Amino acid sequence: MRILVLNCGSSSAKFAVFEATTGQELANGLAQRLGSPQAILAWKHPGGVGEEPLPGAHHAAALRAVVRVLTDLGLTEGLAGIGHRVVNGGAQMTTSAIVTREIEQIISDCVAISPLHNPPNMVGIRLAQELFPGLPQVAVFDTAFHQTMPEVAWRYPVPREWDAYGVRRYGFHGTSHRFVSQEAHRRLGAEARRLVTAHLGNGCSACAILEGRSLDTTMGLTPLEGLMMGTRSGSVDPALVGFVAERSGLTAAEVIDALNKKSGLLGVSGISNDLRTVMAAASAGQGDARIAIDLFTAILAKAIAGLAVPLGGLDALVFTGGIGENAKPIRAAVIKHLGWMGLTLDANLNDGHGKAADGRITTDVPGPRALVIPTNEELMIARDTAALVLPRR
Ligand code: ADP
């Protein structure tokens, strides 16, 4: 039996096919730049790679192309279910779930809080229902893992009347935080009781995890809160919105748009949202690249230290996502900031991304350690889907 995983983002759609019982990956791919003349689908499988331009294609056309490619490869035979990444399931969804009318309603209700993310997720579900009628569809929510947060973590200190609008902290990237925390437990056992996981991609968030349960996280009502990111500012004084709007002539919505799309590494460096480009510019002594990197690491280190408070200490810090898995100088700078907590970098292990020591990049002494663990959200979605759709043995 096989599981197809679909992850529809705002202008991209990722997919992967897994063997349901072993978790072995049989194919994966990405349709990107959707809605533009450069839209393109690329895929790989053990027998090779492929690519197909899809000029002007939006999600639905791209997903039809994905299904055609997978059918040609014989990978749509024996599908047991389809797992969908869904960004926001609100406070109601605490676990992954088979898609029913009620679940569809919850995903639609959450469009108000995640207007960029939930609609493409819903397109993926609808199309999969049309192309594979009768096959179970499973929704795996980015927010679900964080629903174990206590009220002191999810409540904002704001007027209670706003509860009626759904104002609270939800947290995101839950599928990734859950995957790497399970992997840390597999590797470290009881020594991974108190974890902070740092998912650092284009979006960035960190999470405090006690014995496998999320206790607190840096993203909030929307993915704008918390760490500095590629184009997002992360946390700023909320009074800044009105202050800048008054002086610039922008509306509040336009200022918030700039905090989402023109801030972070891009806004501070003035060069790029892509850390690789910013690091190259900093090495060349270009403009404001260095301060952008220093700000990124200082904010991240402060957040990690803050997340150790609800945990009552720290056993392990996990780096993941494109930056966490690859950017050695970022990891080194963060660990340097956190030296007072007992973390000491092993420069050789960090250079090899921890591969020589089962992920570890700190020295092998008693006390907290740091690890690099590659995330695999698609595999986590496939596992959840298999658990819900395969007959229990
Ligand atoms: P997404 O959130 O879109 O999945 P990724 O997890 O792929 O993004 O992370 C993208 C980020 O990772 C970019 O800022 C990119 O520059 C950074 N990155 C990827 N590889 C490296 C590398 N070798 N060194 C530094 N940064 C890297």
Residue 82 C-alpha to ligand 1 middle, in angstroms? 27
Record the pTM.
0.96
Q: How is the chain split among helix, strand and coil, in percent rounded to 5?
A: 45, 20, 35
Residue 290 C-alpha to ligand 1 middle, in angstroms? 17
Residue nearest to atom 12 of ligand 1 (CA): 322
Residue nearest to atom 24 of ligand 1 (CA): 327
Residue 275 C-alpha to ligand 1 middle, in angstroms? 7
pLDDT in tens, 94-114: 999 999 999 999 999 999 888
Mutate which of 28, 202, 283, 350 to test ligand 1's pocket (most atoms within 8 Å of Cβ)? 202
Query: Between β-strands 213-217 and 137-141, what pairing exists: parallel, antiparallel or unpaired?
Result: unpaired
Q: Is 264 in the pocket of ligand 1 (CB under 6 A)?
A: no
Annotated catalytic, 142?
yes
Q: Grade residue 9 by pLDDT with cuts at 50, 70 and 90.
A: confident
Q: Is 202 in the pocket of ligand 1 (CB under 6 A)?
A: yes
Domains located in the chain, CATH noted: 2-141 (3.30.420.40), 189-372 (3.30.420.40)
Q: Which of 72, 109, 142, 384 is catalytic?
A: 142
245-250: list long-range contacts, CB under 8 Å, 24+ apart.
none
pLDDT in tens, 323-377: 999 999 999 999 999 999 999 999 999 999 999 999 999 999 999 999 999 999 9
